[in-house]
A and B are shown apart, each in its own frame.
Chain A
Amino acid sequence: MSERWNAQVQLEHLQQKYAGAGNADTTKWEWGCTIRRDSLASHIGHHSRMLYMAIAENESTSRMKHNMLWKMVQPCGPPPPKK
């Protein structure tokens, strides 16, 4: 019985509370959204990467950030219909 409550299980329980953590039932769409959101957040957070993209797109960094923030709403499009 006590095995069920070892540190590992508690840790996993903690991990499950974070957005982005997955489990065996995570779908491709859910995982894809997480990946895209994480990527966008990371781009916004790293200024040098931001500058690189801004130059490539010929936009200001603020505009780029703004666009990326908006992209985070349903980043991969609507959820696929449930079967």
Chain B
Amino acid sequence: MSVEKEIDKNAFTNYIPMDSEEENPELPTQLGPDKLTQRYDSRKIIDREDEYQRRKRLRTFSPERADAFNKTDKDINKRSYADILKEQAQVKADREKQKRNLQEKRERLNKGESKSYEHEASNDYASTRNESESDTRKTRWGGETPTISRSPEPSDENQAGKAKDNWDAPSENSDSTAPNVYSNITPQNLKMLRLAKELEERNKYLTDEELNGLLPIDGYEIVPVPDTYKPPKTNRINPFLGGMNFYQIPEELGKPYEVPGVPDSGPNALPQIKPEDLGYFGALLQEVDFDNLSYEEQKERRIMELLLKVKNGNPIMRKQALRQITEKARELGAGPLFSQILPLMMSPTLEDHERHLLVKVIDRVLYKLDDLVRPYVHKILVVIEPMLIDEDFYARVEGREIVSSLSKAAGLATMIATMRPDIDHIDEYVRNTTARAFAVVASALGIPALLPFLKAVCHSRKSWFAKHTGIKIVQQIAILIGCSILPHLKSLTEIIKDGLLDEQPKVRTITALAIAALAEASAPYGIEAFEHIIQPLWEGIKTHSGRALAAFLKAMGYIIPLMDPEHAGACTRKIMHVVIREFDTQDEDMKKIVLKVLKQCVSTEGVSANYVRDHILQDFFRSFWLRRMALDKKNSKPLIETTVELANKVGGGEIIGRIVDHLKDENEPFRKMVLETIEKIVINLGVADINSKLEEKVMDGMLFAFQEQATDDSAAVINAFGTVVSALGIRCKPSIPYICGTIQWRLNNRSPRVRMQAADLVAKIAIVMKACGEDNLMGRMGVVLYECLGEEYPEVLGSCLCALKAIVNVIGMTKMTPPIKDLLPRLTPILKNRHEKVQENVIDLIGRIADRGAEYVSAKEWMRICFDLLDLLRAHKKGIRRATVNTFGYIAKAIGPHDVLGTLLNNLKVQERQNRICTTVAIAIVAETCGPFTVIPALMNEYRVPELNVQNGVLKSFAFMFEYIGEMTKDYIYAVTPLLEDALVDRDLVHRQIACAAIKHLAIGVEGLGCEDALTHLLNFIWPNVFENSPHVINAVIDALDGLRLGLGVGRLLSYVTQGLFHPARKVRDVYWRIYNLLYLGNQDGLVMSFPTLIDDEMNTYRRTELELFL
């Protein structure tokens, strides 16, 4: 999954095609950095879409289309494929005409020496777009809805006042006109209304009283309004003033609407309608007599209710509605369903989870409707296609699923007929999304089925748009299905190869990109398919420049790793002069591609180290290792990767030698980039070829970088430092004193961040310090850190504790300075610290001491720590709780279990569940470390406390204990059997449940150790519980039976089960067959000898005669 996600992410980041930029210069080519860091406070989808993605709102639903396969329905009015193509030709012709007109106008204007209109005239694209936008607006809310005037209202004070009166006036006939009003509240209107209302609220006039309250009464005087004063024009936008002045706005606009006439609960209840959704669900607010409606209206209302439940209802409502809408899909009909679902999907206030639910509805409905869906394919695609370029991974996956089930329902022919007109649509957005949808269709219905169509499209002579889209489909297929492209590789490359020589530059570019995608998907196989493409690629690389060259280089870069070594070497040498020439490019895309190509070329076997050294390194470092490259992660990452690849070829020493001086650069991101590169090279190649001089330089540089780091993100530098130091090992001995000096000095720095970094570094290099034999220095370090334990910043304190732990680990308890007996009492108060990092480190450190050096501390001190540890069981982090219970074990081992156990058993009385459970685990661990005999008597004694929590705790401790001690259980089974017996006849369900869990572990532990008598006895107590209903209890019972199957053998349990397999009551049979299946699948072979002898009847023989053989 994660790999797929990664690939998918890559596919997504360039969701705006590389070649679209020229066409729409105003679009961002990639997600800007701020886009990634910006927080998404709003859950609405629209708020995180960028401009390109918002273009989906410019698309319109086309009318239904004729289903060519439906012989019975020959409605002439329905649009067919031919109609659409004709319309499109018409649109194109109109466009041409318009363009010509504009051109003429411009020429005329130019002649007339008036240049003022030039701007307007030249931007013909924008103007046509705006036009289409306004068209869309007209039609989006369905034909019958009148458009609402958005023009600013008459600004005269008087008029505004009048309007206001209208707002406040109660409308006499609001009931009769209600539906009209509701259907007019579009989300935009509502938003505007809200805004206007808020502005009004904020800008209202202050009354005299308020002014008196605000200003002192003395020293002010009220001046008359000057005659020349004209009140400022209010520019209030109010969508309702344009003609519908009878509707009274509710007081609280944000309040959801209750649907009248339905019960508050029960199966008929409806969720509230959000104000934003009034446009869609407003009709539900009218109370109507359901029986008087026509059949169509009834259906419509029914669908509306179901959709409302799905969209806004609680989970139970939603599930029911979803099931109903699925079951009745065919009855409700495709038309009415989609005419309500699809506008909802386009709603600008849609949120992620709502979209998810609606998509689910579409998916289920599609499955049911099957071929009835054909006339609506295009409408659905208009809604779903934008999801294919959504930035959310799951939205993309959902989109793909819908398109795929849509194509399975409608069939290939319908899909092609529907999407064919969009392939040479004038809008690039439409073509882009259509290509992606086609790729999904191909993966759903199989590539071979689509090949003839693709071939025709890619060789279309009508327009280059079609060719371009066709090739893009191939590219998207490659990205989508990855390595399963291999069987079709040859035919796909065959189809697109002519695109490389096309006269239209964009077609050439997309072809090269498609080839790159194909090669990437098929790597490391499939070079045969690309053989006939290499020649035109060469030609292209030689002749093109700019974007086309970048695309061609990219394609070549992906093909080279597929070649055999000699070819790859030759190709690399041929391509390299172009790549080196492009080192100096200013274009970001080109830069990235050059780095990628270089990396791919260098990693092939056929390129020799000497060649790289002589021809590449010089220019590479001159052009790329610049501060500028470190600023953006998108640049620095490929640069680091490529540099590491170069190091793999020519050796780490050489590369590190070239960049090491930059460690002292004044630019921090740049230093960090160098450090990261050095770290990666050292991880890959070690430090064998770093000579002593370079080593000195590296250490020196790293220390500098460490000292100079200013930003919060400290992990990179420290990690790199740690990696290099541990790789150098004993070779760092000369620099250790310097490092320690620096650390010591910095541990006392004023800035907490510096102190923390210093402590972190100690933790990283402790092992190497030991290896260098610097025990004295470490001791000193220990003392310094010990003195830091009064630290007030928890983050720093945590790091100090971590550093101390590292030192204690390598130096040992005996040699530690300060001595353990001084150190531990200092740690005890820190246990009370609530900060997670502190808790985690301090408990680790204490556990370590308890494990290795418990004798240095008095038993009394350990007991005190025990009490403090109980608090840590409340920690949120599981690691802390786990470390704590382990520490109980160590302490119990050190000072004997008696006192520790007493503390723990007392703790079973607390209320908090998590605390109790951790305590039971700790008791079990104590039992494991000190021997069960030390614990079991006390535990059994505790069971006599008449308190449910304690008894449950004891049982749970037994369960954990049996799990931990395994086979040792056999010595104690007869001792605990009476207790378990007692627990199993308790009235409390949970009690029996926990006892079952204990018996499960017990039975598994004693398997094959001859304790069948006790187990049978326990089984007799468990068996009546098989009819329990509560899920947790029945699970525990079944688990216990499964454990007993092991302990007793499957035959014994079968003899219990056969009693009820053919019981007259179904309820009994259900349960018994369930247990039978458990046994059967658990140990099928073991059952053979235990099956009962069935009696033959007149027709059938059931006896197993072969078992009656006797020798």
Which of the residues B1077, B1099, B1102 comes within 8 Å of A78, measured between beta carbons? B1099
The answer for the CA separation of A25 and B1069 in the assembled complex, in Å, is: 8
A24 to chain B, nearest CB (A): 4
User: Does A26 contact B1073, Cβ atoms closer than 8 Å?
Assistant: yes
What are 17 A-B residue pairs whose CB atoms fall within 8 Å in the complex?
A1-B316, A8-B1035, A8-B1038, A15-B1077, A18-B1080, A18-B1081, A21-B1080, A22-B1073, A22-B1076, A28-B1094, A35-B1104, A38-B1087, A53-B1109, A76-B1100, A76-B1101, A77-B1100, A80-B1100
Binary CB contact string for chain B from 1061 to 1078 against chain A (1 if under 8 A, 0 otherwise): 110001001100110111
Q: Per-residue 0/1 for A10-47: is the Cβ within 8 Å of any B Cβ (1 yes, 0 no)?
A: 00100110101111101011011001101110110100
A-B contact sample (11 more), CB < 8 A, given A22-B1076, A28-B1062, A80-B1100:
A1-B316, A1-B319, A6-B1031, A8-B1034, A21-B1080, A23-B1073, A24-B1066, A38-B1091, A39-B1088, A42-B1088, A56-B1111
Within the complex, what minimum Cβ distance (angstroms) separates A20 from chain B? Answer: 6
Cα–Cα, bound, A53→B1099 (Å): 27
The 3 closest A-B pairs by CB, nearest first: A24-B1069, A56-B1109, A32-B1102
> Which residue of B is nearest A21, CB measured?
B1077
Measured CB to CB, the closest approach of chain A to B453, in angstroms, equals 39
Q: Is residue B1085 within 8 Å, beta carbon to beta carbon, of the partner chain? A: yes
Residues from chain B with a CB closer than 8 A to the CB of A52 are: 1109, 1111
Closest partner residue, chain A, to B1108 (CB atom): A56
Is B122 at the interface (CB under 8 A from chain A)?
Answer: no
Chain A residue at smallest Cβ distance from B1104: A39
Q: Does B315 contact A (CB under 8 A)?
A: yes
Contacting residues, chain B, for A21 (C-beta < 8 A): 1077, 1080-1081
Report the separation of the CA atoms of residues A77 and B1091 in the bound assembly, to the nearest whole angstrom: 19
A6 touches B1109 (CB 8 A): no
Known: A6-B1031, A32-B1100, A56-B1110. A12 touches B1088 (CB 8 A): no
Indicate the member of B1070, B1088, B1110 with the most A CB atoms within 10 Å: B1088
CB-based nearest A residue for B1065: A24
How many A-B pairs fall under 8 Å by CB? 87
Choose among A20, A76, A80 the residue with the greatest number of B CB atoms under 10 Å from its CB.
A76
Whole-angstrom distance from the CB of B1088 to the nearest CB of chain A? Answer: 4
In the complex, A55 Cα to B1111 Cα: how many Å? 8
- Establish whether residues B1069 and A38, one from each chain, have CB atoms under 8 Å apart when the complex forms: no
Once the chains bind, are A24 and B1070 in contact (CB under 8 Å)? yes
- Chain B interface secondary structure, helix, strand, loop or mixed? helix
0/1 string, B306-340, CB within 8 A of A gives 1: 00000000011001000000000000000000000
Cβ B1085 vs Cβ A42 within 8 A: yes
Q: What 1/0 flags go to B1029-1073 for Cβ under 8 Å of A? A: 001001100100000000000000000000001100010011001
A68 to B, closest residue via Cβ: B1106
Nearest-CB residue, chain A, relative to B1084: A38
Among candidates A1, A8, A38, residue contacting B315 with C-beta atoms closer than 8 Å:
A1
- Contacting pair A77 B1088 (CB below 8 A): no
CB distance from B324 to the nearest CB of A (A): 16
Tell me which residues across on chain B come within 8 A of A15, comparing CB atoms: 1077-1078, 1081
Chain A residues lying within 8 Å of B1094, measured Cβ to Cβ, are: 28, 31-32, 35
Number of B residues near A (Cβ < 8 Å) is: 35
**Chain A residue, CB-CB nearest to B1086:** A42
A78 to B: closest C-beta gap in Å: 7
Evaluate contact between A6 and B1035: CB separation under 8 angstroms.
yes
Residues of A within 8 A of B1066 (CB): 24
Contact check, B1100 vs A3: say whether CB atoms are below 8 A apart.
Answer: no
In this complex, the member of B1077, B1099, B1107 whose beta carbon has the largest number of chain A beta carbons within 10 angstroms is: B1077
Write out the residue numbers on chain B whose beta carbons fall within 8 Å of the beta carbon of A12.
1074, 1077
Query: Smallest CB–CB gap between A37 and chain B, Å?
Result: 10
Interface residue tally for chain A (C-beta within 8 Å): 37
What residues of chain B lie closer than 8 Å to A53, measured between beta carbons?
A: 1106, 1109
Q: Hey, which chain A residues are within 8 Å of B1074, CB to CB?
A: 12
| Chain B positions within 8 Å of A40 at CB level | 1106
Cα A32 to Cα B1097 with chains together (Å): 12
Other-chain contact of B1061, A31, A42, A68 (Cβ < 8 Å): A31
Which residues of chain B come closer than 8 Å to A76, judged between CB atoms? 1100-1102
Cα A26 to Cα B319 with chains together (Å): 32
B1065 CB, nearest partner CB in chain A, Å? 10
The answer to whether B1100 touches A22 (Cβ under 8 A) is: no
CB-based contact B1073/A20 at 8 Å? no
For B1034, the closest partner residue in chain A by CB is A8
Chain A residues whose CB sits within 8 angstroms of the CB of B1107 once the complex forms: 39
* Residue numbers in B under 8 Å from A78 (CB-CB): 1099-1100
A36 touches B1102 (CB 8 A): yes
Shortest Cβ distance from A5 into chain B, in angstroms? 10
Cα–Cα, bound, A8→B1109 (Å):
41
Q: Which residues of B contact A8 (CB under 8 A)?
A: 1031, 1034-1035, 1038
Q: Return chain A residues, CB-CB under 8 Å to B1031.
A: 3, 6, 8
Q: Report the bound CA distance from A57 to B1038 in whole Å.
A: 42
On chain A, the residues within 8 Å of B1101 by CB distance are 76-77
Q: A77 — nearest CB in chain B belongs to which residue?
A: B1100
Task: Report the minimum CB–CB distance from B1095 to chain A (whole Å).
Answer: 9
Give the distance in Å from the alpha carbon of A38 to the alpha carbon of B821 in the complex.
68
B476 to chain A, nearest CB (A): 36
From known contacts A15-B1081, A18-B1081, infer whether A24 and B1104 are also in contact, taking CB-CB under 8 Å.
no
Which residues of the partner chain B approach A77 to less than 8 Å between Cβ atoms?
1099-1101
Q: How far is the CA of A26 from the CA of B1062 in the complex (A)?
A: 9
CB contact between A45 and one of B1085, B1091, B1100 (< 8 Å): that residue? B1085
Bound-state Cα–Cα, A77 to B1100, Å: 5
- Residues of B within 8 Å of A29, CB to CB, are 1100
* Complex Cα gap A8–B1078 (Å): 11
Residues of chain B within 8 A (CB-CB) of A43 are: 1106
CB contacts (< 8 Å) of B1081 on chain A: these are 15, 18, 21
Is the Cβ of B1088 less than 8 Å from the Cβ of A38? yes
Report the minimal beta-carbon distance from B685 to chain A, rounded to whole angstroms: 48
Contact A39 B315 (CB under 8 A): no
**Most chain A CB atoms below 10 A, which of B1080, B1100, B1107:** B1100
Q: Which residues of A contact B1076 (CB under 8 A)?
A: 22
Within the assembled complex, what's the spacing in Å between the Cα atoms of A29 and B1109? 24
Residues of B close to A6: CB separation below 8 A: 1031, 1035
What is the bound-complex CA distance between A3 and B1031, given in angstroms?
7
Residues in A with CB closer than 8 Å to B1109 are: 52-53, 56-57
Cα distance A77–B1099 when bound, in Å?
Answer: 7
Chain B residues lying within 8 Å of A18, measured Cβ to Cβ, are 1080-1081
Give the shortest distance, in Å, between B901 (CB) and chain A (any CB): 34
Whether B1078 lies near A36 (C-beta < 8 A) is: no
Chain A residues whose CB sits within 8 angstroms of the CB of B1088 once the complex forms: 38-39, 42
Q: How far is the CB of A51 from chain B (nearest CB, A)?
A: 10
- Which of chain A's residues have a CB closer than 8 A to the CB of B1110? 56
Note all chain B residues with C-beta closer than 8 A to A35: 1091, 1094, 1102, 1104
Q: Which residues of A contact B1104 (CB under 8 A)?
A: 35-36, 39
Bound form: Cα–Cα A45–B1084 in Å: 13
For the complex formed, measure the closest distance between the CB of A39 and the CB atoms of chain B, giving whole angstroms: 5
Measured in the bound complex, the distance between the Cα atoms of B668 and A44 in whole Å is 74
Residues from chain A with a CB closer than 8 A to the CB of B1073 are: 22-24, 26
Task: A77 to B1061: give the CA distance in the assembly, Å.
Answer: 22
Complex-state Cα separation, A78 to B1111, whole angstroms: 32
Given the complex, which residues of B lie within 8 Å of A57, measured CB to CB?
A: 1109
Most chain B beta carbons < 10 A, residue from A15, A52, A78: A15
A65 CB, min distance to chain B CBs, angstroms: 12
Q: Are A7 and B1035 in contact (CB under 8 A)?
A: yes
Contacts of B315 in A (CB 8 A): 1
Complex Cα distance, B1084 from A21, in Å, reads: 10
Bound complex: CA A56 to CA B1110 (Å):
7
Across-interface contacts of A20 in B (CB, < 8 A): 1080, 1084
CA distance A35 to B1084 in the complex (A): 10
B1051 → chain A closest CB, angstroms = 14
CA distance A34 to B870 in the complex (A): 56
Question: What are the residues of chain B within 8 A of A24 when measuring CB–CB?
Answer: 1066, 1069-1070, 1073
